[in-house]
């Protein structure tokens, strides 16, 4: 056996436990129940690009330099997203959930872990095209203030528009996508009227609790970074926030199946991970 490697790996794992504890105690962000392979990869990537010799040295900087911590926060929270990410998901939303939402006089939507907002605007566009926008309240939350600032602005680099437009068309878009934004040389700004019924707010799924009763929760590719225990905790938070008959929409590789909350839901679409909370 290669004991040196095992020993080094064990030391790195101890250092990761310590740095996550330090972050929680000092800044209140709790990554202790995040998927370890992900956290390890991100921290070691930061370490490799730094002048520190070890994670222990880096921990010192995390504790004493809040601006350095902000960099680590960016590393640990994944904010890679796109408009109409997984077009088939939005198509399923349109055909399977929107008709049911139309039966309610007023609809509350919660985008949990909304990151830089691309998927919030995507769903807002769907709601507008389906004639529902004027009777919705959309809560878009994330624990990371800097991504929320981007989400609030609704301004994205112009080089992404080609991809966004293709997604929009595959997602069953009814207009020309360019109806929804204005372009300048480097960026596009989305139709400001899409924001009218959106509230962007800080909310941490790990440490905060229920803040509203909603008809639909969209939380995609957030839970994959949590371990099972934390996933269960968040599923309970979602179940407490959803009205009976409300909808839970997850990322295509996420599942309620192994959660103790699974029995509370019917599966609407197993492939796109659309669930309906039972009316008990």
Return the number of the residue (74 or 135) whose C-beta is nearest other proteins. 74
Q: φ and ψ at 210, to 5 degrees?
A: -60, 135
Residues that bind other proteins (CB under 8 A): 1-2, 5-6, 9, 13, 35-38, 40-42, 78, 80-81, 86-87, 170, 221, 224-225, 228, 231, 251-255, 258
At closest approach, how far in Å is the CB of 5 from other proteins? 5
Determine the Cα–Cα distance for residues 4 and 179; give it in Å rounded to an integer.
Answer: 60
Instruction: Mention every residue, 6+ apart, whose C-beta is less than 8 A from residue 229.
Output: 33
Determine the Cα–Cα distance for residues 187 and 160; give it in Å rounded to an integer.
Answer: 9
Return the number of the residue (115 or 239) whose C-beta is nearest other proteins. 115
Give the pairing type, strands 155-157 and 107-112. Answer: unpaired
At closest approach, how far in Å is the CB of 84 from other proteins? 12
Return the number of the residue (84 or 133) whose C-beta is nearest other proteins. 84
Determine the Cα–Cα distance for residues 73 and 39; give it in Å rounded to an integer.
Answer: 11
Nearest to 33 by CA among 194, 179, 232: 232
Return the number of the residue (119 or 180) whose C-beta is nearest other proteins. 119
**H/E segment holding residue 247:** strand 242-250
CA distances from 141 to 47, 144, 201 (A): 30, 9, 5
Return the number of the residue (117 or 251) whose C-beta is nearest other proteins. 251
DSSP code per residue over 52-72: -SSHHHHHHHHHH-HHHHHHH
Determine the Cα–Cα distance for residues 111 and 140; give it in Å rounded to an integer.
Answer: 5
At closest approach, how far in Å is the CB of 44 from other proteins? 9
At closest approach, how far in Å is the CB of 257 from other proteins? 9
Return the number of the residue (1 or 280) whose C-beta is nearest other proteins. 1
């Amino acid at each position: 056996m290669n004991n040196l490697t095992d020993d080094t790996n064990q030391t790195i794992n101890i250092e990761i436990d310590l740095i996550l504890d330090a972050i929680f105690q000092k800044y209140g962000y709790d990554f202790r129940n995040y998927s370890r392979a992900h956290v390890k990869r991100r921290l070691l990537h930061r370490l490799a690009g730094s002048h520190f010799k070890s994670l222990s040295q880096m921990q010192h900087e995390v504790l004493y330099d809040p601006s350095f911590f902000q960099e680590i926060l960016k590393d640990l929270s994944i904010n890679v997203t796109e408009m109409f990410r997984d077009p088939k998901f939005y198509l399923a939303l349109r055909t399977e959930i929107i008709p049911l939402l139309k039966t309610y006089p007023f609809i509350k939507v919660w985008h949990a872990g909304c990151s830089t907002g691309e998927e919030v605007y995507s769903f807002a566009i769907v709601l507008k095209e389906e004639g529902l926008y004027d009777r919705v309240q959309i809560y878009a939350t994330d624990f990371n203030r800097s991504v929320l600032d981007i989400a609030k602005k609704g301004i994205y680099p112009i080089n992404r528009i080609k991809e966004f437009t293709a997604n929009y068309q595959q997602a069953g878009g009814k207009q020309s996508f360019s109806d929804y934004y204005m372009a300048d040389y480097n960026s596009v700004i989305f139709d400001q009227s899409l924001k009218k019924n959106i509230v962007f707010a800080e909310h941490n799924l790990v440490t905060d609790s229920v803040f509203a009763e909603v008809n639909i929760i969209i939380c995609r590719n957030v839970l994959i970074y949590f371990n099972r225990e934390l996933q269960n905790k968040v599923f309970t938070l979602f179940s407490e926030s959803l009205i009976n008959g409300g909808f839970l929409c997850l990322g295509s590789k996420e599942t309620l199946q192994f959660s103790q909350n699974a029995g509370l839901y019917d599966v609407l679409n197993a492939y796109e991970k659309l669930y309906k909370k039972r009316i008990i």
